[in-house]
Structure 1
Amino acid sequence: MQTKNSRQKGAALITVMLVIALVSVIAVNLGSKLQMQITRMGNLQQAEQSYWMWLSAEDVLKEVLKRELNENDGVANNQQSWASRTGPFPVEGGQIAARVRDLSSCFNLNSMVTDEEDPGTLERRKRQYKALLQGVELDEYQAQGLTDSLVDWIDGDTQLSGSNGAEDPDYQGLPKPYLAANSLLLDVSELRMIRGYNREVVRKLRPYVCVIPNETALMINVNTLKEEQAALLTAVTEGKMSLQDAQSFLSNRPEAGYESNEEVDEVEAIANVKSELNGELSELDVESEYFQLTAYIQWGDVEMKARSVLHVNNGEVATLYRAMGE
């Protein structure tokens, strides 16, 4: 028969074992949390280093653009060093690659607004954009709807711009309702919010369109267009220049591009189109002001894609916009 002392010793032993088990659990949890904290700190340090590499790439591009455009009186072409993709370059702990896009070699979606000084500009932009949409194999009805819904998304009012437009009521009726932005775009990815711009439509448009923050002008640099972007010339000329003629014009450019707008105007294909448009073809240019840097950075376990929009003005280069991700 157990004595009172033996029962007390047994209870004490159980208590000690419970305390040891509890301490072990706490120690394991603390160890796991410490490991997570160490990992998190390491990731933060890698992310911070990637961020500074991005800004360094920006600074390098600014110096290149400043030098090359100043040397060429603002004229940009695809033979200049900024136009070639660079990298990936190995750096201690990772690597970096960069690509630069002239934002005058694409259709600025923010140009789809009314110009108070020239009210007819918006109608011309609509015709040009609709021609671009049809150039990427969208039918006329779909092109009209996409044009109207984009204008309604950007303009500052709540009135439909056309029978196929879309304003607040069209978005409020969705399963996850929201309102039209009624402001300029910041990024091409915003197209997915606009009625009609599904994944396939945006995929077709991406090689031809861009967004210049807070800029509503449309300028197309004929020196930096790629031959596979010939549909842009067809669009800007409202279809007056056929795709075949546009491809021929781009493939027959001087190797270093044209040196002036006057030289471009002397090309027979351009002169003929300007005549058909009653001289209206002010969108073509040989100079560029806006460029987009896309940096691909891998540092440790962190992989990052980052974009910067740069503006060249009066010999200086400023950053207008930064974003990470697609």
Structure 2
Amino acid sequence: MNGPRMNGSGANEGSTGGNRSWRRPGPVRGQRGVALITVLLVVVIATLLGTSMSTAQNLAIHRARNYLDQAQLRQYVVGGEELARQILFEDFAETPTKDHLLEVWASQELNYEYEDGEISLRIIDLQSRFNLNNLMIGGLQRERFTRLLSQLGVDAVFVDRIADWSDADQNTSNLGAEDYEYLGLERPYRTADQGFQDVSELRMVLDMDTESFARLEPYVTALPTTNVPLNVNTADFVMLQVLAPQINGEAVGNALEQRVAVEGFNAVPELFAAMGTPPRTSTEGLGVQSGFFEINVTARYQDRFGYLRSVVQRNPADGGLRVLSRTFTRALPPLTTDVEQDAEDE
């Protein structure tokens, strides 16, 4: 009978022994956990890097699109200015001897639509307003400006102070002010001692308050030269009434009606004839043609808006136009006053 084989030590070769057990080593299981965590970390880092790159790319795309849209809008704004210049040039070609408010450039409906946007133009004749630099001439210009301040309810002391602000000397006028008065202020500064560059300089004139400036601003301009004639074909009710002391509201009303009927006067004496003023009324500093205009452009491209306010000068010989200044900001409307309405009601 064959039994289990015994080896030399007496142990049964067919037996595994009761004291021995087979177990998986501990370090292998720990290494698998570390590997899993490492994989998870790699996945998280890759996800974060991908998200970061995607976000950065989206921001770059949006930034590029914004730059492109803004550049496109700016081109539309500048194009609106060029369109206005073309309108003014064509106006000169048609009627080179006079400018009036029934011409195309003076329309309040200069609106042009195009794909994804529109352009609105408003052209203002700056020679329909009193040129502050004309005060350097004195005489009749000073008299008219004095009457303008009286008509607007602004203190007449500003006649001398505005003149002193722009003259080249330091000689104080009767009610004026030069550097000595300005240097004594809490925040001292000096007078310009040169012509007005912009109407906003009026705010620097001694004691010029907000209300006085708001009343005066719509009726004045700052042109780069003196002795610029006022265009009687575009001047409003208030400006026409201050041309001479004997002119009243009724005379101005008659002249305005006649001005519309004849589509602008051909000469200044026709204005005074319509008013019924004496033939000796001076026509100095007056005219029927304009060379300085303000162009206001509002452009929309998709959901963006752009603005441009530029001053142009038109050559009275050939109608050529040149830009004197540009401001890419929105022009705020002046504070409303009842001066003009009150004058018309008289």
TM-score range, shorter chain: 0.7 to 0.9
**Contact in 2 for aligned 1:191/1:197 (Cα 8 Å):** yes
**Contact in 2 for aligned 1:259/1:286 (Cα 8 Å):** yes
Compared CA separation, residues 157 and 51, structure 1 to 2 (3 A): farther
Partner of 1:117: none
Compared CA separation, residues 99 and 262, structure 1 to 2 (3 A): same
**Contact in 1 for aligned 2:77/2:306 (Cα 8 Å):** no
Partner of 1:232: 239
> Quick check: 1:127 aligned with 2:150?
no
d(CA) in 2 for partners of 1:13, 1:183 = 81
Partner of 1:222: 232
SS in 2 for 1:173: coil
The unaligned stretches of length 5 or more in structure 1 are 1-8, 115-120
Aligned-residue identity in percent: 25
**Contact in 2 for aligned 1:168/1:178 (Cα 8 Å):** no
| Count of residues paired in the alignment | 302
**Contact in 2 for aligned 1:110/1:211 (Cα 8 Å):** yes
Pairs within 5 Å for 1:272-311:
274=281, 279=282, 281-311=283-313
**Per-residue deviation, residues 200-239 of structure 1 (Å, max 9, x unmatched):** 2222223322222x121232222222xxx322122232x3
> Quick check: 1:324 aligned with 2:335?
no
**Contact in 2 for aligned 1:240/1:273 (Cα 8 Å):** no
**Contact in 1 for aligned 2:141/2:285 (Cα 8 Å):** no
User: Looking at both structures, which has the greater relative contact order when contacts are Cα pairs under 8 Å and sequence separation is at least 6?
Assistant: 1
Largest Rg, 1 or 2: 2
Partner of 1:193: 204
Pairs within 5 Å for 1:22-61:
37-61=60-84
The letter for the 1-side match of 2:218 is P
SS in 1 for 2:324: strand
The letter for the 2-side match of 1:124 is L
Question: TM-score scaled by structure 2?
Answer: 0.72
> Displacement of 1:180 after TM fit?
2.7
Partner of 1:165: 177
Compared CA separation, residues 15 and 241, structure 1 to 2 (3 A): farther
Superposed CA RMSD in Å reads: 3.5
Q: 4+ residue runs of structure 1 moved beyond 4 angstroms?
A: 9-40
Question: TM-score scaled by structure 1?
Answer: 0.76
Pairs within 5 Å for 1:79-228:
79-112=102-135, 114=136, 121-138=137-154, 140=155, 143-145=156-158, 147-167=159-179, 169-170=181-182, 173-175=185-187, 177-212=188-223, 214-225=224-235
Compared CA separation, residues 87 and 258, structure 1 to 2 (3 A): closer
**Contact in 2 for aligned 1:220/1:285 (Cα 8 Å):** yes
Compared CA separation, residues 165 and 12, structure 1 to 2 (3 A): farther
